[in-house]
Structure 1
Amino acid sequence: MKPVDPVALRRSRIYLLLIALVFAAPMIIAGLLSFSGWQPGVKGNGHAILPQRNFVDEKLQVKLDNGQVWPWRDSEPRFTLIALAGPDCAARCFETLTDIAQARVMLNRNQTRLRLLYLGTPPADASKRVAMQTYWTMGSDVDGKLAAYTPATPDSVSAVLVESNGTALSLYPAGFDGPGLLRDLQKVVK
């Protein structure tokens, strides 16, 4: 057998370690970034509701226009998007509500997994009120427990996304990004 050259052996080992480092470096960097709290692509467009609230546990009552009480837990698992109107819901408010309804339609086959609940005084225009009833269930917050999420700005709307078990997930304050809401809905409503 031929004697092994120690310099060549050392060079081969260094190359092997460099190749292993090339494959291990992305995992090490990802671990360091994750440990530091940075994670790409996990931020939604809404604001997380902290501390978490469960409307079933809180016994939050929403009385519908037909006199019934809104069932937070439905016969099948479905999310609820609550639209909370500010004072004097008019043209801009109605436009936002229309955008939300369009976002629901864009969920395609999953649109039945999202219920739309409107709380507040409907627009004064009777034709707009009739148009809303196609997509929205209308009601009112009996005890005012959602007042903190209701915008104070006239002719504006905020929204709250609620999980099928009654847990409030995200708040979309007045002036929220409609396409951003759609992206969030596409992530969670599957």
Structure 2
Amino acid sequence: MTDPNAKTPPTRSGRLKLVLIMLVFLAPIVAAGLLTLSGWQPEGKGNGKPIVPQRSLADIRVEVDGKAWAWRDSEPRLTLVALPGPNCADRCIHTLTLMRNARIVLNRNADRLRLLYIGAPPVAADAQAVMRDYRTGTDAADAFAEFRPAEPDSVAAVLVESNATALAWYPAGFDPNGLRKDLQKVIR
């Protein structure tokens, strides 16, 4: 007679189910590895242009109120560098206002983004109200020349990570709503 409490060895179908379960979990890992080895990388949907090759700005000296700008802050905060073209006037001030508003939309995370304006201060009538939120600095070495727009009354921007790495460039005429979306993705 057979003992009803005796354990039966695993059946072939039980082992097959276990192997299939393992394959379900391993397949995405193997697929990701193969895609990476083939050189394929997903493209981000950021609105700024990636700065390639990425570079550190830690050695770039920007003077703000007679002191060097601390790219690496005491707490992790990104820096949005505003780079005006010649004669920053109405259109430039409008873009600076929208950049400032993109920071305000971050709500409780707004303090995780610093606004830095590098160049001659704008002279438009309503510039003072907008510039209160920016720190104004000078770049004696003109290290941002390749990102600065040449057309008058325009502004470009560079987003800098808290470790002083330049992440993205927003050339003159960029969409401030796209900048806002990028900031909301990066700063959480």
Counterpart contact for 1:48–1:171, Cα < 8 Å:
yes
Alignment of 1:1-190 (within 5 A): 37=40, 39=42, 42-56=44-58, 59-64=59-64, 66-125=65-124, 127-190=125-188
Please report how far the alpha carbon of residue 140 of structure 1 lies from its aligned counterpart in structure 2 after TM superposition.
1.0
SS at match of 2:70: coil
Number of the residue aligned with 1:11: none
Deviation string 1:65-122 (CA, Å, 9 cap, x unpaired) is x211111111111000000000010000000000000000000110000000001112
Counterpart contact for 2:93–2:127, Cα < 8 Å:
no
CA distance in 1, matches of 2:169, 2:99: 14
CA distance in 1, matches of 2:130, 2:55: 28
Please report how far the alpha carbon of residue 124 of structure 1 lies from its aligned counterpart in structure 2 after TM superposition.
1.4
CA distance in 1, matches of 2:55, 2:160: 10
CA distance in 1, matches of 2:153, 2:88: 4
> Unpaired runs of 5+ in structure 2?
1-23
Q: Which has the higher helix share?
A: 1
The aligned amino acid for 2:114 is: R
Please report how far the alpha carbon of residue 128 of structure 1 lies from its aligned counterpart in structure 2 after TM superposition.
2.9
Number of residue equivalences: 163
CA distance in 2, matches of 1:43, 1:156: 24
What is the Cα-based RMSD across aligned positions, in Å?
Answer: 2.3
Counterpart contact for 1:81–1:160, Cα < 8 Å:
yes
SS at match of 1:98: helix
Counterpart contact for 1:159–1:171, Cα < 8 Å:
yes
> Unpaired runs of 5+ in structure 1?
1-22
The aligned amino acid for 2:62 is: V
Deviation string 1:123-181 (CA, Å, 9 cap, x unpaired) is 113x4342133210001112111100000010000000000010000000000011110
TM-score by length of 2: 0.78
Counterpart contact for 1:33–1:39, Cα < 8 Å:
no
4+ residue segments displaced more than 3 Å:
30-40
